[in-house]
């Protein structure tokens, strides 16, 4: 048994806080609200096949995709609980076109929360792992009200980021810039317990994860890269392909086993010239986790966390995972300019 195996996520947060001299406890209280939200979402996800919560609502989200009831539920739980934390000044959610302002009667705080309430939700009916992704930033502007610039900060400004994956068990993986820790929810006691201290992504892997169905719509750089991964060569493995279609789950496997997850730009949908995944809700938070675990995340041309966001729902191409495979993608991009 790991020496720290009985540690709950809140104990872990408090010890981190003491180590780094955070005096007010605001950040811990904020993260604790998020953890409670995730426990509630996890409970509902587990019940998904039992109650009449599955199926489409008939509405479309801001990206024109069909929204399922559990997405709305997850979004509402997080909005409600985080507003109560009194440490948030504004939020942004993949399920809302606009910034989410705090109600007038609620005290505003110093933090900005960006989140994807239920990523991979098209997999719900098939009982496949889905997740909640979060990114926490400090408010930059002065005064009580927020400015758009508080939401549109590059990823390197994140103070914490991570995700909850609702899978065979529910896990939380997060970083505050001092490595990556993973916790597994023990449903019998309702606590996240430290199960994966100091996660390190293998420097190289043997698995790639991308939607091969879009092959014909990829650029020569991406095609050459994937062909290279598939090619027999005595100096490298022939990579296996694993693709769930749920970014949190695909990323979580990549974090633990190594390799690369990618969603590049493609020409399939002219509305989405930069791929599908959102910089603020999906790419930045997972990039922070990947880098803190010793890995990397790139658009192919530049480090994800250095992209200056220009809109809340901006999409970017992404290659994320082991350093070796991400740098290889950048090499293929540079060679195919
Ligand atoms: P969602 O946030 O609407 O669920 O969409 C994002 C998901 C990711 O989890 C996943 O990586 C990607 O969509 C899969 O897309 P595709 O089916 O085009 O491969
Ligand atoms: Mg998503």
Binding-site positions read: 94, 116, 118-122, 211, 243, 276, 282
What is the C-alpha R_g of the chain?
A: 19
The closest alpha carbon to 171, from 3, 335, 337, 9, belongs to 9
Q: Name the closest-CA residue to atom 12, ligand 1.
A: 245
Task: Give the model's pLDDT for residue 239.
Answer: 98
The closest alpha carbon to 280, from 62, 61, 133, belongs to 133
Could you give the ipTM of this predicted complex? 0.96
Rounded to the nearest 10 degrees, what angle do helices 9-19 and 26-46 cross at? 160
Ligand 1 pocket test: which of 94, 268, 276 has the largest number of ligand atoms within 8 Å of its C-beta?
276
Task: Give the model's pLDDT for residue 251.
Answer: 98
**Neighbouring residues of 270: CB distance < 8 A, sequence distance ≥ 6:** none
210: left (phi over 0), alpha (psi -120 to 50) or beta: beta
| pLDDT tens string 261-314 | 999 999 998 888 999 999 999 999 999 999 999 999 999 999 999 999 999 999
The ranges of the chain with pLDDT < 50 are 1, 3, 53-54, 56
Task: Give the model's pLDDT for residue 337.
Answer: 81
Q: Hey, is 327 helix, strand or coil?
A: helix
Query: Tokens representing 315?
Result: 């999409």
Query: Where do the structural domains in the chain lie, given as residue ranges?
Result: 9-196, 207-335
**Neighbour tally for 308: CB within 10 Å:** 10
Q: 222 CA distance to ligand 2 centroid (A)?
A: 22
Are residues 166 and 41 in contact, defined by beta-carbon separation less than 8 angstroms?
Answer: yes
Task: Give the model's pLDDT for residue 44.
Answer: 87
pTM for this one? Answer: 0.93
Task: Give the model's pLDDT for residue 53.
Answer: 47
| pLDDT tens string 200-229 | 999 999 999 999 999 999 999 999 999 999
300: left (phi over 0), alpha (psi -120 to 50) or beta: left
Q: Considering the domain 207-335, what is its CATH architecture?
A: 3-Layer(aba) Sandwich (3.40)
Q: What is the CATH number of domain 9-196?
A: 3.30.540.10
Are residues 184 and 148 in contact, defined by beta-carbon separation less than 8 angstroms?
Answer: no
**Neighbouring residues of 317: CB distance < 8 A, sequence distance ≥ 6:** 262, 263, 264, 265, 274, 275, 299, 300
The closest alpha carbon to 7, from 198, 171, 175, 192, belongs to 192
Task: Give the model's pLDDT for residue 3.
Answer: 45
Are residues 178 and 198 in contact, defined by beta-carbon separation less than 8 angstroms?
Answer: no
As for ligand 1, residues whose beta carbon falls within 6 Å of it are: 65, 94, 116, 119-122, 211, 245-247, 263, 276
Query: Tokens representing 222?
Result: 């991406």
Task: Give the model's pLDDT for residue 226.
Answer: 98
Q: 237 CA distance to ligand 2 centroid (A)?
A: 31
CA distances from 4 to 23, 183, 247 (A): 24, 11, 29
332/321 Cα distance (integer angstroms): 16
């Amino acid at each position: 048994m790991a020496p720290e195996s009985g540690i709950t996520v809140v104990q872990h947060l408090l010890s981190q806080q003491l180590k780094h001299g955070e005096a007010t406890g605001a950040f811990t209280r904020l993260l604790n609200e998020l953890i409670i939200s995730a426990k509630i979402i996890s409970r509902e996800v587990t019940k998904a096949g039992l109650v009449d919560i599955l199926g489409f609502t008939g509405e479309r989200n801001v990206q024109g995709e069909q929204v399922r009831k559990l997405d709305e539920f997850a979004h509402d739980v997080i909005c409600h609980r985080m507003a109560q934390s009194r440490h948030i000044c504004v939020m942004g959610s993949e399920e809302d076109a606009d910034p989410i302002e705090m109600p007038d009667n609620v005290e505003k705080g110093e933090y900005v929360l960006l989140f994807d309430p239920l990523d991979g939700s098209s997999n719900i009916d098939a009982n496949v792992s889905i997740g909640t992704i979060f990114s926490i930033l400090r408010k930059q502007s002065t005064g009580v009200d927020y400015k758009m610039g508080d939401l549109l900060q590059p990823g390197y400004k994140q103070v914490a980021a991570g995700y909850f994956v609702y899978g065979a068990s529910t896990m939380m993986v997060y970083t505050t810039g001092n490595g990556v820790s993973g916790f597994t929810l023990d449903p019998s006691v309702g606590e996240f317990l430290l199960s994966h201290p100091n996660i390190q992504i293998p420097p190289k892997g043997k698995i790639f994860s991308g939607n091969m169905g879009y092959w014909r719509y990829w650029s020569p750089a991406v095609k050459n890269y994937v062909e290279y991964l598939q090619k027999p060569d005595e100096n490298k493995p022939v990579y296996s392909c694993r693709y769930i279609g749920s970014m949190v789950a695909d990323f979580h496997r990549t974090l633990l086993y190594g390799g690369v997850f990618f969603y590049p730009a493609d020409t399939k949908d002219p509305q989405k010239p930069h791929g599908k995944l959102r910089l603020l809700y999906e790419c930045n938070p997972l990039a922070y986790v990947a880098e803190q675990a010793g890995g990397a995340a790139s658009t192919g041309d530049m480090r994800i966390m250095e992209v200056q966001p220009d809109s809340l729902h901006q999409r970017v191409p992404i290659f994320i995972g082991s350093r070796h495979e991400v740098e290889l993608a950048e090499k293929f991009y540079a060679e195919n300019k």
